[in-house]
Structure 1
Amino acid sequence: MEKQTFGGDWTEEKLNRVSKYLKAYSTIMNKYNFNYAYIDAFAGTGYRTLKDEDEPNTLLLPELVEQESKKFLDGSARIALQIKPEFKKYIFIEKDEKKVNELEKLKIDFPNLSERISIVHSDANFYLKDLCRKDWKTRRAVLFLDPFGMQIPWETIELIAQTKAIDLWYLFPLGIAINRLLTKDGNISESRKARLNEVFGTTGWYDTFYRNTEHTNLFGDTYSTTEKIANCESIGQYFTERLKIIFEGVAKNPLVLCNSRNTPLYLLCFAAGNKKGASTAIKIAQDILKK
């Protein structure tokens, strides 16, 4: 896996990578007779904030905290709307009503695209599951999953793959959520295990991430200990292998996004759903991820 440290700019780097793919994707799809869309499952307000240089406090995760700032950079929603050639449709999903109201302003800011923009006030998983079950024979899409944490169950990922029509960019919560739940001694609460089972779609992660060792004491009694052998790299590799089971193609070089302390936060993954276009999509995505 490629590993990159961006400090406060890791969010911008993430969006730059996705933006490059959207441009390449739309350029190719514009030549075909498909109704292709850009789908943003956690669209937010369409804006993201950067920490002001004058502010002394450094936020570990600037995207997860609502903060006042005079510095706004284009978020994923606005970046997508600026891509040329334009997508046939834009779907922005947001659960928070206030953010939905902000997203509605995109139709005003981009009047030439207003009829193509759909603002969906819904839980992302609920909407995506319904959307993925529709007929995708004449439709294609790029889906950007940028959740705050572990909101995406494996069931949703499977349904996305089953469309055979959606290319997925997924900001997997590698360090900010998954690795933090994996205790050193393997003593994980049942509720946390259930969450991890849901994210990975299997219970097999435990035997992969932990090792049991048998010991014998001075009296000849045996006992066992459990220790964590997983790190962010092996967790990322495990999740990538899981994606390969259900998608036509998966980028072999997902990008680890770290904070200024070089602590892994997320893993930017790419998976292609369509068999015919997978090889081209993977080639483009891998080139973008390695730069």
Structure 2
Amino acid sequence: MNIQTFGGDWTENKLVKLRKYLVAYATIMKDYNFKYAYIDAFAGTGYRTGKESEETDILIFPELINQESNKLFDGSARIALQVEPKFDQYIFIEKDENKVYELNKLKTEFTNMADRVTIINSDANIYIKDICSKNWKSHRSVLFLDPFGMQVPWATIECIAKTEAIDLWYLFPVGVAINRLLKKDGNIDEVIRKRLDETFGTTDWYDRFYQITNQIDLFGTYSITEKTADYKLICEYFIERLETVFAGVAKNPLLLCNSRNTPLYLLCFAAANKKGAKTAIKIAQDILKK
């Protein structure tokens, strides 16, 4: 597992790596007889700022996010549209109507590509499940999952893998949510535990992250539950989960940290297509290690 260097711009880091992969992917795919698309599942406005101000819920911890400036930078949607060679189609999914309004401005800015851009005002999980259920025989795609927290259930991940046609880049919320919810004594609220079950697609995570030991005192034997999982173990476990459904998974995911060196996300890559997985993983692992 790679770890981003202290003080680096984690947002810039993830987007640089995404751009590099999109360039490599489009360069290869233009010589094949496939229609290929870029899908951005949490597209936002197309821009990003140095100061994060996205919506939050009880599973998001905004104090972990790097807040250093309000300057506008290109977000993943705009970066994808700038990539050469071009993709056949760009699908930007966004639930917030105000952000959809901003995304639509991209069609005006990139007028020569407006007919390739589709903007979907929908819940990302609903739309992804719908599009993944279609016939992918002559289609391929790169899908970027960049949620604010635990908005992506395992059922969505499974749908992506079943297409056998999608390359997935996923910012897994290992620091902004998962690790913070794993209480040291293992006494996790039932609602939170169910959310973790849905995120990992199994209940086995509890046995991997906690150890139960028997202790003896004057009154007899009693049990103690202790958290044994650190960031490394949680990350390794999630990569193992991805390997249960995808044809190939990058072995060197990147742990992204903020300027205080607090882990936020794990940048993962997985390939669904058996024939193309070897090449895709080779390219992704090379990008992740640089």
TM-score band w.r.t. shorter chain: over 0.9
How far apart, CA to CA, are the structure 2 residues paired with 1:214 and 1:68? 51
Deviation, 1:263, is 1.1
Report how many residues are paired: 281
Assess if the C-alpha contact under 8 Å between 1:5 and 1:260 holds in 2: no
1:224 and 2:194 are equivalent in the alignment: no
Q: Deviations over 1:211-242 (max 9, x none)?
A: 000011024x1000000000111000000000
How far apart, CA to CA, are the structure 1 residues paired with 2:2 and 2:196? 24
Q: Deviations over 1:24-57 (max 9, x none)?
A: 00000000111100000000000000149xxxxx
Assess if the C-alpha contact under 8 Å between 2:50 and 2:69 holds in 1: no
In structure 2, what is the equivalent of residue 60 of structure 1? 64
Alignment of 1:108-257 (within 5 A): 108-219=108-219, 221-257=220-256
How far apart, CA to CA, are the structure 1 residues paired with 2:167 and 2:175? 24
Deviation, 1:257, is 0.2
Q: Deviations over 1:91-146 (max 9, x none)?
A: 00000000000000000000010000000000000000000000000000000000
Structure 2 counterpart of 1:229, which letter?
Answer: T
Identity %: 68
1:31 and 2:35 are equivalent in the alignment: no
How far apart, CA to CA, are the structure 1 residues paired with 2:66 and 2:125? 24
In structure 2, what is the equivalent of residue 84 of structure 1? 84
Q: Deviations over 1:127-177 (max 9, x none)?
A: 000000000000000000000000000000000000000000000000110
SS in 1 for 2:244: helix
Do the aligned partners of residues 185 and 4 (structure 1) sit closer, same or farther apart at CA in structure 2, a change above 3 Å counting? Answer: same
Assess if the C-alpha contact under 8 Å between 1:60 and 1:259 holds in 2: yes
Deviation, 1:6, is 5.3
- Structure 1 unaligned residues grouped into runs of 5+: 53-57
What TM-score does the superposition give when structure 2 sets the normalisation length?
Answer: 0.94
How far apart, CA to CA, are the structure 2 residues paired with 1:31 and 1:273? 20
Structure 2 counterpart of 1:13, which letter?
Answer: N
Structure 2 counterpart of 1:159, which letter?
Answer: C
Q: Deviations over 1:41-82 (max 9, x none)?
A: 000000000149xxxxx963258xxx993x211100000000
Do the aligned partners of residues 182 and 72 (structure 1) sit closer, same or farther apart at CA in structure 2, a change above 3 Å counting? Answer: same
How far apart, CA to CA, are the structure 1 residues paired with 2:241 and 2:258? 26
Structure 1 runs, 4 residues or longer, greater than 2 Å off: 5-8
Do the aligned partners of residues 162 and 12 (structure 1) sit closer, same or farther apart at CA in structure 2, a change above 3 Å counting? Answer: same
In structure 2, what is the equivalent of residue 273 of structure 1? 272
Assess if the C-alpha contact under 8 Å between 2:34 and 2:139 holds in 1: yes
- Structure 2 unaligned residues grouped into runs of 5+: 53-61
In structure 2, what is the equivalent of residue 55 of structure 1? none
Assess if the C-alpha contact under 8 Å between 1:6 and 1:13 holds in 2: no
